[in-house]
Each structure stands twice: as C-alpha cells, then as structure tokens.
Amino acid sequence: MNEEFNFEDAVNALMEGQKMKGKDGVLAPLVKQLVEAALEAEVESHIANDVLNGNENRRKGYNKKRIKSMGGGFDLETPRDRESTFEPQIVKKHQTNMSDEIEEKILSM
C-alpha cells in the first residue's frame, strides 16, 4: 500500500477551496486507503480459511487497476493469493467503477 492519508493536508486543501468529492477531490486518497485495508483483511481471512481446510495457499503480491469513483479516480492495489482462489467482495475482480453507495458507506465510517 502507498502512503497514509494525511488529515492535516486534507483540511488545508479544503480551506484553500479544493473540492471534497469529485475529480481530484480531497477524499479520494482516504477512500483508496480504506478500500485497500478492507481488501487486506479479506485476503488474510481467505488464506486463513484455506489453511484451516488443509490447503497451502499463501499471498502472492498485488494487482493494480484504475478505479473510477465519485471521490475521483485512484489506482487500487488488490492483493492476490498463489492459488488464485481469492475473490474480493468490496471491489470485485474486473470492477472498475466504485458505486456511490459503497463509497458513501466507507466515508460514513
């Protein structure tokens, strides 16, 4: 994952008139960080279940894809597993648009 969201920089950007949502919005990096954290938890849970079921599955890096959202676009790093059995739920394979509903839920957390 990339650098963490900086709240101080975000507040300064908002005070300077930068938009909160939309293209190049202040919240796009926060949404990216939260989605990547959720994906990490998903893959860890998936691998733990595989190991409990006797499989020798492990992590195998990341795939990168461009996501379009109401908070602006961002490059998302999706974790992978060696057996290619991980199916992410928050942002599914081949999904390139994040629904406004998902993003609103993330921002309300």
Distance CA 37, CA 10 (A): 19
Looking at mean pLDDT, say which of 21-25, 51-55, 101-105 comes out highest.
Answer: 51-55
pLDDT of residue 83: 93
**DSSP character at residue 92:** -
pLDDT of residue 60: 93
Instruction: Kindly report the backbone phi and psi dihedral angles of residue 78, in degrees, each rounded to the nearest multiple of 5, phi listed first.
Output: -100, 125
What is the mean predicted confidence (pLDDT) over 18-44?
A: 82
Residue 13: helix, strand or coil by DSSP?
A: helix
* pLDDT over 50 at 57, yes or no: yes
* Contact present, 58 and 82 (Cβ < 8 Å): yes
pLDDT of residue 1: 45
Distance CA 28, CA 31 (A): 5
- The pTM of the full predicted model, rounded to 2 decimals, is 0.75
25/14: higher pLDDT: 14
